[in-house]
Chains A and B, each alone.
Chain A
């Protein structure tokens, strides 16, 4: 085998092992820590509106895209306690501070921000969307 091909192969192997390790450690973190914050409504529930938490972690953005187009373009709005929408996510996952005030979900250590910082995915949603449940 020529030397350049060998080098290329070695690099590829190294890359696969390293990225594999990276992904594994991410999964470990996911499995170990719970992003569900005590004091949020979610903490008192058995499961999310999507019961498969891993699925939700990986695919929530697809669900949100789907819902956003339905809501905005087709006017399909869902209401009630189990509101399946970004507002519903926020209503359930926002934690409260010592004064009983809601903490924005995109603040450091809060539900959305924790994972997004880890995976370095910018949280664009909250440039426009409200970050706490509306109380009034």
Chain B
């Protein structure tokens, strides 16, 4: 296969249009059939803090992500208690409601190739959300997971504006139907936590577990032996908006 230098060529698009319009001049590569993108996380010892020994990440194979399938989004809603996973947010407009993960459809206008992929918080190593947060509520765990500390979030929504991936949501109304492990509430911003509550128990994120097409692989980017690292070392992969040099923890192959 010829080596193709791929570059995003729509850096001038506004970030909101970007994800819809991304036409990526890249070679589409399929992961060899029969390779299941799946890895169990390593449980950290109980009672120990997370460390920067790990950096958790995802590899999403766009060629496997099935048209019309919404399993990862559904699983996230159930797991984290938003959208269909909750009876709350009845008074919010659809565009106000929380959206931690979404299926994004992409069409390359030049080749007319169409594909779709799940997009969530990309767990940037250099997160713009954290740069702009005036309170320190946007933070990163040692293991690279980006989160919002709702106890000190003032709801200014700077992070929502700063995030190039539209990954964050603001809760507009009082809630009462939260999951016990996932507090959520009015006046705070929230986003994908990479299922930190599951990862801390040695489980993989709910979206990855739910994907029947093997399109998502979760694992430790810092461990060169981990399935995700060996996969990343052997096939081409991309960051969304890699021009921003955020070093995202979520990577895509096939775009």
Contacts and interface: CB of A to CB of B under 8 A. Distances in A.
B179 A127 contact: no
Classify chain B: how many residues form its interface, as a range: 20 to 34
A76 B49 contact: yes
Given A76-B49, A128-B150, A133 B139 contact: no
B183 A134 contact: no
A40 interface: no
A14 to B, nearest CB: 39
B196 A75 contact: yes
A75 B149 contact: no
A133 B184 contact: no
B197 interface: yes
Contacts of A76: 47-49, 200
B174 A127 contact: yes
B26 to A, nearest CB: 35
A78 B47 contact: yes
Contact of A73 (B141, B179, B184, B199): B141
A90 B179 CA distance: 13
Size bracket of the A interface: 20 to 34
A104 B14 CA distance: 45
B183 A128 contact: yes
Contacts of A73: 139, 141, 149
A75 B200 CA distance: 6
A27 to B, nearest CB: 30
A75 B184 contact: no
A128 B180 contact: no
Nearest to B199: A75
Given A72-B147, A75-B141, A129 B183 contact: yes
A84 B216 CA distance: 34
A75 B147 contact: no
B169 to A, nearest CB: 14
Contacts of B175: 128
Contacts of B44: 75
A130 B180 CA distance: 5
Interface of B: 44, 46-50, 139, 141-143, 147, 149-151, 174-176, 178-181, 183-188, 196-197, 199-201
Interface of A: 68, 70, 72-79, 87, 90, 104, 127-131, 133-134
